[in-house]
Amino acid sequence: MSDDSYTEVTSESWFSRIGGSFKSIAFGLLLFIAAFPLLWWNEGNSVERYNSLKESQGVVIAVAADAVNPSNDGRLIHVKGLATTDETLKDDVFGVTAPAIVLQRVVTMYQWKESEKTETKEQLGGTKTTTKTYSYSKQWSGDPINSSQFKHAAGHTNPVMPYKSQTFQATNVRLGAFRLTADQVGRLSGAQVLPVQALQMRAPLPDKTPTRMGDGFYLGNNVADPQVGDLQVSFKVIKPADVSIIAQQQGNTFIAYHTKSGGDVDLLQMGLLDANAMFAIAQRENTVMTWIIRAVGFLLMWVGLGMILSPLSVLASVVPFLGDLIAMGTGLLAFLAALLCAMLIIAVAWIFVRPLLAGILIAVAVGSLLAMKFMPRHPAKIAQA
């Protein structure tokens, strides 16, 4: 809910907008060029990961967790069982202890947040008026919000966050006769809420009285009426749980297995899974990440080309309706050109690994090229369309 707001109205002349649009060409070109190595690296990395997982699936051996066989040193092994520890973890700041593999302190603070809403209007002659409305509301946030950067900071000051969230890990986590690395412990999931009965704070805050709230604590004067700077503190733990690991055996612990394909394999999944299931999950994760980076690369190209072509719509914006039409045309042109370039890069990278996928991508690229060929090139034709 918004508590108050601040509005700022600015105007930019047609000549100023033209100058700004020409300056944006350089930045747009930078974005467009940067997308090429990103997409190329992504495809190479995806192919490498795909091949590394396939190679590893052919050489992995299943071993029992209850004994370490020295003859398996240097080999890729699959082991599953109960991950556990004898350690008791402690948060010294709040005096909370728990026999667990991981102890997580979760802290949120009641803070001011700034939201921005922008509206632009073009007038006859090319002048653009921009109205920015900054609204201020209070919310709980686990990250400190820097109120000094607010457009209207007066009356919306956030104090320094005295405590932040923190994670504590056991140093000796066992999987039968094996020992998990710190990185593997950090990848464990399935944290559960830890009910806390009392806090033994090392340095109590003078103006914040701890009050029990649910399974955690409220640090403030009134739970029903939170004030900026009040804190909520709760805790979570990861208890002993079943895990499955595929990695290279090194003594009684693990390291990443370096494949001939050039990639490293160090897989961990919660639960008791066989090797094939773990490799299937890893391949799906590789596919998802590949498409995410593809989308990022495509957007960089699209935005970059849009900025390069932006002077055309600004030049035509002396008549707002015509400027909007040109902007639509250049936006479509930028989309098709970005799609063409992105599909060609992806196709070339995959052509020797998945010829069918490469063929489909090339077909999409050719379709984009044909669409651009038959697009109206003259503003008047776009207006008549």
Which of 210, 170, 177 is CA-nearest to residue 89? 170
- Kindly list the domain boundaries of the chain, sorted by start residue: 12-53+286-384, 61-109+152-269
Instruction: Compute the distance between CA of residue 2 and CA of residue 277 in angstroms, rounded to an integer.
Output: 49
pLDDT at 203 over 80: no
Model's pTM, two decimal places?
0.79
Instruction: Compute the distance between CA of residue 77 and CA of residue 248 in angstroms, rounded to an integer.
Output: 6
Under DSSP, is residue 7 helix (H, G, I), strand (E, B) or coil?
strand
List pLDDT tens digits, range 208-235.
888 888 888 999 988 889 999 999 999 9
> What is the model's pLDDT at position 189?
95
> What is the model's pLDDT at position 380?
46
How is 86-154 classified by DSSP, letter by letter? Answer: --EEEETTTTEEEESSEEEEEEEEEEEEEEEEEEEEE-TTS-EEEEEEEEEEEEEESS---GGGSTT-T
pLDDT at 13 over 70: no
> What is the model's pLDDT at position 318?
57
pLDDT at 69 over 80: yes
pLDDT at 236 over 70: yes
| Angle (CA) 323 329 330, round 5° | 90
Report the range of poorest mean pLDDT among 7-11, 108-112, 187-191, 244-248: 7-11
pLDDT at 56 over 90: yes
pLDDT at 281 over 60: yes
Q: What is the average pLDDT score of the chain?
A: 86
